[in-house]
Amino acid sequence: MSQSGADVADGSPFGVYVHIPFCVSRCDYCAFATWTDRAHLIGDYLDSVVTEAGRELAATDGGTGIYATSVFFGGGTPSLVPAAGLVSVLHAIPRQPHAEITVECNPDTITIELLETYRAGGVNRLSFGVQSMVDHVLVGLGRTHDVANVERAVSLAREAGFESLNLDLIYGGAGESLDDWRTTLERVIDLAVPHVSAYALTVEAGTPLAADHSRHPDDDDQADKYLLAVELLGGAGLESYEISNWARPGFACRHNQLYWRQGDYVGLGCAAHSHRAGRRWWNVRTPDRYLELISAGRSAEGGFEELDDAARRMEGLQLALRTSEGVPVGVLPMDDPALAGLVETAGDRHRLTVAGRLLANEVALRLG
110 in Cβ contact with 143 (< 8 Å): no
CA distance 277 to 275: 7
CB atoms within 10 A of CB 114: 19
On the question of pLDDT at 316 being above 80, the answer is yes
- Selection from 90, 110, 197, 198 nearest residue 158 by Cα: 110
CA distance 286 to 365: 35
Looking at residue 338, its amino acid is A
CA distance 149 to 133: 10
* CA 285 from centroid of its chain's CA atoms: 18
CA distance 320 to 223: 21
Q: Say what the pLDDT of residue 210 is.
A: 85
On the question of pLDDT at 225 being above 60, the answer is yes
Which of 205-219, 293-307, 331-345 shows the lowest mean pLDDT across its residues?
205-219
Which pairing describes strands 343-346 and 349-352: parallel, antiparallel, or unpaired?
antiparallel
Q: Say what the pLDDT of residue 175 is.
A: 93
* CA 91 from centroid of its chain's CA atoms: 21
* Domains, the chain, with CATH or none: 5-259 (3.20.20.70), 325-368 (no CATH)
What does the longest C-alpha to C-alpha distance in the chain come to? 60
Q: Say what the pLDDT of residue 142 is.
A: 81
Greater model confidence, 297 or 10: 297
Strand spans (E) along 248-319: 264-268, 273-276, 279-283, 301-306
Alpha-carbon separation of residue 117 from 14, 83, 121, 161 (angstroms): 25, 6, 6, 11
SS (H, E, C) 124-154: CEEEEEEECCCHHHHHHHCCCCCHHHHHHHH
285 in Cβ contact with 271 (< 8 Å): yes
pLDDT of 319-368, one tens digit each?
999 999 999 999 999 999 999 999 999 999 999 999 999 999 999 999 99
What is the rounded average pLDDT for all residues in the chain?
A: 93
